[in-house]
Amino acid sequence: MTDANLAIIILAAGQGTRMKSSTPKILHTIAGVPLVGHVLATANALSPAHVVAVVRHDRDRVAEAMSEMLPGLLIVDQDDVPGTGRAVELGLTALPSDFAGDVLIVSGDVPLLDATTIASLIAEHRAGDAAATLLSALLDDATGYGRVVRNAEGILDRIVEQKDASDDELTIGEINSGTYIFTVGPLREQLALVGTSNAQNEKYLTDVVGLLRAAGSTVAALPVSQPWLVAGVNDRVQLADAALRLNQLIVRGHQVNGVTIHDPASTWIDLDVSIAEDVELLPGVQLKGATSIERDAVIGPDTTLVDCEIKQGATIRRSEATLAVIGAWASVGPFAYLRPGSDLGAAGKIGAFVETKNASIGAGSKVPHLSYIGDTTVGVESNIGAGTITANYDGVNKHKTVVGSHVRTGSHNVFVAPVRIGDGAYTGGGTVVRKDVPAGSLAINVAPQRNMEGWVEANRAGTAAADAAAEATKNTN
């Protein structure tokens, strides 16, 4: 149900220079989702009446990405006046003129702050009839953060930024997280009074807290239970820290739900992955995108799955697959590479050093080892011999190979597409299949073997091979 008295402004205008990247900071991903995508998901979970994003750096790219993640998002451009206060001031212009509720301010680079924590902030704000309530955190080292300054009674007095803090204020360990909720009327009134006379010549949103306090309004700071909840991401180190923390939470969640994970430290699971109970993940597994795994499957070790669908009881060892479907009780690997469009049927097998692409392999069929199967359909209960290649590309176009059911092909075959091998057919070892093979036929194209006796001794005299041949000939005479 929509909270008609709640609007959310997401601050997403920063350049993020410390990331040293051509990608906008808030579009870097953790757990398969951009940083700002986590923030948008949290905002949406709160069911606000309005969500506004204030953007500036790489404006079109950021606005497009955010709008795709949250349709209906209101986009506002920050102007040349710097500072979070100015960003919020502009964000307020996107709200209806008659909106009289609460405005939640969140940062686009704080991905781990969850809806439950923010809901507690909103409840605290409303219960206390406050004009402003912010989330704070207690840190052992508060360097770089704005400090929460309280009076002798422990009541929030003001916030002072690091560059404007006195020596005494720098010793304070309670920091401002950058997440606030304001009653919109007092916020509008006090923002109009905020100037830029500070060390950074910016319009600080934090100044509003002190102005509200001086005007006699109630302001409060609510410490979070864990500081990492409000940790921002400003560089690659912090990005990795946030990714690790979120992955630990995701892994633990799957464990609690009945998934066996042998080595949580080496197992990485994206947020949108779904895993049924009684799945077993061995060390070194990475599950990405919208991968789904049904019960009793065993994945790993050392396996990466991207946007794959794994059916019940399937086994995948030391392999990589993208946009692939693995049937129930099928097996893959070790060292298999399944490219997009690979579909292995129930109880089928893709074995060691096999690559597949745009290939449908029917139930019970096997490609056991050392093969490339591309643009191919294989029926049921067929066996593709070792070292088989489907030659699907003529230098201009791709062509399809069709292998029927209950087919047995020899080792080291080449199927030159387009070609069909009928049901129940066989092919001999070393065969190059250029023409269709009728059902039940045996296809061979080997030339008679010719042995040129004495060739080595005549043409490679003095070599170890010639000496060995001479000795063998002497012993047989």
Give the active site residues: 369
Yes or no: say if 78 and 55 are a contact pair by the CB < 8 Å rule. yes
State yes or no: 146 annotated in a binding site: yes
Q: Tokens 């061979």 identify what position?
A: 444
User: Which residues, at least 6 apart from 389, have a Cβ–Cβ distance to it below 8 Å?
Assistant: 371, 372, 413, 414, 415
Angle between helix 35-45 and helix 115-127 axes, rounded to 10 deg: 50
State yes or no: 161 annotated in a binding site: yes
State yes or no: 429 annotated in a binding site: yes
- What distance in Å separates the CA atoms of residue 443 and residue 432, rounded to the nearest whole number? 9
- What distance in Å separates the CA atoms of residue 424 and residue 419, rounded to the nearest whole number? 16
Q: Tokens 């509200």 identify what position?
A: 212
State yes or no: 393 annotated in a binding site: yes
State yes or no: 78 annotated in a binding site: yes
Strands of 65-218, DSSP E:
74-77, 102-107, 132-138, 147-150, 156-160, 174-183
Q: b/e string for 2-19 if b means 16 or more Cβ within 10 A?
A: eeeebbbbbbbbbebeeb
- What distance in Å separates the CA atoms of residue 253 and residue 256, rounded to the nearest whole number? 5
State yes or no: 287 annotated in a binding site: no
State yes or no: 372 annotated in a binding site: yes
State yes or no: 364 annotated in a binding site: no
State yes or no: 386 annotated in a binding site: yes
Q: Which of 37, 85, 42, 89 is nearest to 65 (CA)?
A: 37
**Per the structure block, which two tokens stand in for 333?**
């690997």
Yes or no: say if 194 and 208 are a contact pair by the CB < 8 Å rule. yes
- What distance in Å separates the CA atoms of residue 92 and residue 78, rounded to the nearest whole number? 12
State yes or no: 84 annotated in a binding site: yes
State yes or no: 383 annotated in a binding site: yes
First to last CA, the chain: 97
Name the strand (E) or helix (H) holding 220: strand 219-223
State yes or no: 93 annotated in a binding site: no
State yes or no: 126 annotated in a binding site: no
Angle between helix 184-191 and helix 206-214 axes, rounded to 10 deg: 100
State yes or no: 357 annotated in a binding site: yes
Query: Residues annotated in the binding site for UDP-N-acetyl-alpha-D-glucosamine, as ranges?
Result: 11-14, 25, 78, 83-84, 107-109, 146, 161, 176, 234, 339, 357, 372, 383
Query: Residues annotated in the binding site for acetyl-CoA, as ranges?
Result: 386, 392-393, 411, 429
Query: Residues annotated in the binding site for Mg(2+), as ranges?
Result: 109, 234
